[in-house]
Amino acid sequence: MRLVLISNRVAIPTESGPHRAGGLEVALAPTLKRYEGIWFGWSGKTVPRDQVTTTTVEKSSQTYVLTDLSEEDYQDYYNGFANQVLWPILHYRIDLAEFTRRDLTGYLRVNQHFADELSKVIRPDDLLWVHDYHFIPLGDELRKRGHRNRIGFFLHVPFPAPEFITVLPHHERLLASLLQYDLVGFQTEQDVQNFVRYAVSETPGANVRVFQTTDRQVVLNKDGRQIRVGAFPVGIDTAEFERRARRAAYSSFVQEVVNSLGGLDLMIGVDRLDYSKGLIQRMEAVDLFFSAWPEWRGKLTYLQIAPKSRSEIQEYHELGQQLDALAGGINGKFGEASWTPIRYVNRAYSRSALAGLYRAARVGLVTPLRDGMNLVAKEYVAAQDPNDPGVLILSRFAGAAAECRDALLVNPYDSESVASAIAQALEMPLSERRDRHGHTLATLAENGSGVWGARFIEALGQLELVGSDAEFWQRSAL
């Protein structure tokens, strides 16, 4: 059995390390080591339509198949429908969705292109694992081309309640295609419940039946087909990340940052520059904190690392300008010649460098307005010195909150409560910090990155063992 991974971007190993595809690369690394197969995705290149090609790269005993996109396809599919329609709606930002029929047509066209190119390389017994909102209809396109492989889909971002997702134009056409997958995975149980509610109430003519299986997966029955739906929260290798952080703490880069603080405490936030991350509200909370707790002025520095992305999209450009102004305003209000309250940088750092900074930080501030999981929260916990750990302040609307219950959970929309949580974290006694850290780390260690991939693939791979429909429903019905 080969495993075929499909995602928008692909992380091809190079001599200097993997060519990064973001958090997906980190999450899939253990799976790639365990299974032979193919990673299929966009090459990252846009070319004239008549020059679009698909190439194969062999690296580290893995096969990478990369396809180009035309500039029109890239704009309609990626900048258009994926990131100006699906992304905001899936993150409950209906007000930011900008729908055009052209973008939807381009999105469907790229999914058809991927299906055509995949059809050239997949074998009948391959196991297919499709990743994220870019490829919701891909399973349906593959079925139309006659493929009967076991195909799984995993959504890395939230799936909203039906009351939100139904504002998506033509949602019944697009989201019904998820029922062509054999296994649909989400980050949290809440996402699963939202999808099941949607499938039962909104899928036209689906005749959906719901059963609860012994492994806590919901099973939908559509026209005699069975579709399993389950929560598979993405994890990290906590032991590996702790070792990475311990080594990085003594690196020249981290030591330089720590020394530049002059003995002040460090609070850190690391987020892609995106409106879903709650960075505006977070800056406002920092402003309130220094106003209400003046004794911490000159004693604490907040480092916000926010690499820019999708800058060609107007909302992201405007967000960057707002944050520049907020950070500058706070520094102007509270700063001294010898102290700057906020260090705000828009560049990316290596995972090792970030691990060392996490370990040095007394507070980790992770307050997205909505997030599928958020691995920064988990990495911050794993990076801590267990003898003297920092405190995680985490949005209750991040998927990670389900596992990080001993963090200080906050409502990111309530800047006053976030400011209070910062004060609580800074004043927390060592015994309480150790207890909270130990409980959270133990939970995260049980659901490492290898566990996540193995659980999903095992669930997908076992579907052929179910037997006849009649036998299955008899065993599974409550």
Residue 409 is part of which domain span?
Answer: 238-446
**Residue 343 reports pLDDT greater than 80:** yes
Tokens at residue 340, please?
Answer: 């700057």
Are 109 and 126 members of one domain?
yes
**Residues 31 and 109 occupy one common structural domain:** yes
Say if residue 476's pLDDT is above 80: no
pLDDT of residue 465: 36
Residue 477 is assigned to a structural domain of this protein? no
pLDDT digit string (tens) for 375-419? 999 999 999 999 999 999 999 999 999 999 999 999 999 999 999
Residues 79 and 62 in one domain: yes
CATH no. for residue 100? 3.40.50.2000
pLDDT tens, residue by residue, 14-62: 655 444 446 788 888 888 888 889 999 999 999 999 999 999 999 877 8
Q: Please state the φ and ψ torsions of residue 451, each to the nearest 5 degrees.
A: -65, -45
Same domain, 145 and 7: yes
Selected catalytic residue, list 73, 156, 191, 287? 156
Instruction: Determine whether 414 is an active site residue.
Output: no
Domain count, the chain: 2
* Catalytic residue of the set 103, 182, 274, 371: 371
The pLDDT of residue 205: 66
343 and 261 co-located in one domain: yes
Question: For residues 263 and 166, what is the distance between their CA atoms, to the nearest angstrom?
Answer: 52
428 and 460 part of one domain:
no
- Across 96-240, the runs of DSSP E, i.e. the strands, are 127-131, 150-154, 183-186, 209-212, 218-222, 225-231
Over residues 137-151, the pLDDT tens digits come to 999 999 999 999 999
What whole-number distance in Å separates Cα of residue 213 and Cα of residue 197? 17
Mean pLDDT calculated for residue range 335-341: 96
The answer to whether residues 160 and 182 touch, using CB atoms and an 8 Å cutoff, is no
**What's phi and psi for 305, nearest 5 deg?**
-100, 120
Tell me, yes or no, whether 299 and 427 share the same domain.
yes
Give the mean pLDDT of 172-199. Answer: 95
Please tell me whether residues 218 and 247 are part of one structural domain. Answer: no
Residue 249 has pLDDT above 90, yes or no: yes
- Closest listed residue to residue 41, CA positions, set 176, 179, 135: 135
Average of pLDDT values for 290-303? 98
Per-residue model confidence as pLDDT tens digits over 196-228: 999 998 876 657 777 666 567 899 988 888 899
Kindly state whether residues 261 and 190 are assigned to the same domain. no
Say whether pLDDT at 470 is over 70: no
The pair of structure tokens assigned to 167 is: 């504002």
The answer to whether residues 140 and 268 belong to one domain is: no
Domain assignment of residue 475, yes or no: no
Average predicted confidence (pLDDT) for the chain: 91
Q: Is 113 a catalytic residue?
A: no
Summarize the confidence of residues 326-337 as an average pLDDT: 97
- Band (pLDDT 50/70/90 cuts) for residue 468 is very low
pTM confidence score: 0.92
285 and 338 assigned to the same domain = yes
Q: Let me know whether 181 and 309 are in one domain.
A: no
The confidence score (pLDDT) of residue 39 equals 95
With tokens 């990155």, the residue in question is 449
Q: Which amino acid is at 188?
A: T
Nearest to 403 by CA among 380, 384, 427, 426: 380
The whole-angstrom separation of Cα 410 and Cα 420 is 10
Lowest mean pLDDT, pick from 20-24, 238-242, 300-304, 343-347: 20-24
The per-residue pLDDT for range 440-454, each reduced to its tens digit, is 999 999 988 888 999
